[in-house]
């Protein structure tokens, strides 16, 4: 496949995104190709670990390729998006639960679907260029691909802050928040990957790591926990409204750009995941409840129109300027019954 190079080199299964001109955005076909090969490698005694990287300097993977989602959704075809998200989420869980080491090298932008591929393995490498984010509330979605799982496990209320503001994490921030494990300068990556291919020994990763850089996010922990720990979008907004600090003003401006419905559901999802001690599957189940409804009942199509299609940056959100009724938020997160996300391997995949 032209957009991705999947092969076995030495003792390593190798996955390389090869569409840097599109910031390595991931299509449905790319997702399914990764899924198919990783299932074969799981049972292959000649493959000791999996290495995921990407060509180019600007991005590991800046998200999913959403043009097809918009095209089908605006025509009233919601099945395509639902199938895409279903199979993508199954792959996210598969990576998180993979029985062999998964090593990801994430330079530049890692967002959305890139987080789902790169941030669930056990050995996540970043460098000085890394910028990791979950910007989905800005397009009428929620932090998905298991993003809510990662956000719910971040220290304090960093999860609410990152999910609602779409804040970009540099290397030190990503390690603090639990989206990455190791800081390794980019110039060492090629030699390290060769060692992994030759030996199949994942211990080489930690051996090459340097101390994590300082985290700007860590310096804001006091403000973040004070303002983003209210347990609801309304409480967070009220807390920020009562503070004229630079932090509060910038946070208010970030929230004003995003879908109120998406943000309200994000806060509720993080609350549920923390209360239930939920793992990756619980998070993906909740996320799929929202995304299954996102085109038909949410702000997703309008968000894509404003940000990607017309680029007027002026989305007409539901509930704009008003508090999101609890009933609307609960409806987006209600169980799907027979349409619920499952994780069984299907013979027709």
Q: Which residues are catalytic?
A: 64, 113, 136, 144
- CA torsion through residues 117, 121, 126, 131, sign: positive
CA neighbor of 233 nearest in space, from 144, 334, 319: 319
Beta strands in 152-306 (DSSP E): 182-183
Q: Three-state SS for 338?
A: helix
Q: How many helices (H) and strands (E) does the chain have?
A: 17, 9
- d(C-alpha 28, C-alpha 342), whole Å: 18
Tokens of 176: 């603090």
The burial class, CB within 10 Å (0-12 / 13-18 / 19+), for 261 is: buried
- d(C-alpha 321, C-alpha 316), whole Å: 11
**Cα distances (Å, whole numbers) of residue 171 to 82, 136, 179, 213, 326:** 33, 20, 9, 7, 36
- d(C-alpha 178, C-alpha 310), whole Å: 35
Residue 300 in contact with residue 258, Cβ under 8 Å? Answer: no
- d(C-alpha 233, C-alpha 332), whole Å: 15
DSSP state letter for 313: -
- 173 beta partners: none
Furthest CA-CA distance within the chain: 60
């Amino acid at each position: 496949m032209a957009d991705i190079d999947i092969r076995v080199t030495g003792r390593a299964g190798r996955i390389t995104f090869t569409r840097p001109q599109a910031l390595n955005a991931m299509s449905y076909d790319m997702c399914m190709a990764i899924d198919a090969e990783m299932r074969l490698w799981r049972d292959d005694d000649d493959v000791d670990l999996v290495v995921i990287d990407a060509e180019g300097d600007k991005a590991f993977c800046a998200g999913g390729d959403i043009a097809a989602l918009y095209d089908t959704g605006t025509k009233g075809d919601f099945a395509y998006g639902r199938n895409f998200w279903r199979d993508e989420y199954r792959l996210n869980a598969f990576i998180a639960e993979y029985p062999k080491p998964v090593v990801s090298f994430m330079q530049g932008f890692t967002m959305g679907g890139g987080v789902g591929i790169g941030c669930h393995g056990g050995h996540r490498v970043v460098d000085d260029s890394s910028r990791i984010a979950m910007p989905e509330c800005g397009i009428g979605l929620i932090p998905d691909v298991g993003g809510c799982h990662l956000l719910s496990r971040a220290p304090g209320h960093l999860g609410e802050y990152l999910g609602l503001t779409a804040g970009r994490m540099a290397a030190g921030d990503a390690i603090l928040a639990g989206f990455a494990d190791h800081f390794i300068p980019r110039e060492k990556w090629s030699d390290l990957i060769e060692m992994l291919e030759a030996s199949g020994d994942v211990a080489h990763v930690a051996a090459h790591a340097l101390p994590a850089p300082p985290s700007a996010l860590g310096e804001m922990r006091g403000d973040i926990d004070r303002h983003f720990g209210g347990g609801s979008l309304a409480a967070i907004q009220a807390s920020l409204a009562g503070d004229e600090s630079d932090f509060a003003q910038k946070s208010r401006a970030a929230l004003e750009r995003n879908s109120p419905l998406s943000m309200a559901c994000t806060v509720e999802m993080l609350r549920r995941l923390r209360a239930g001690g939920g793992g990756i599957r619980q998070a993906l189940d909740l996320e799929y409840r929202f995304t299954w409804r996102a085109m038909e009942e949410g702000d997703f199509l309008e968000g894509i129109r404003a940000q990607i299609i017309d680029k007027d940056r002026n989305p007409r959100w539901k509930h704009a300027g008003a508090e999101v009724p609890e009933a609307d938020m609960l409806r987006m997160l209600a169980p799907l019954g027979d349409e619920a996300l499952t994780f069984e391997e299907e013979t027709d995949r």
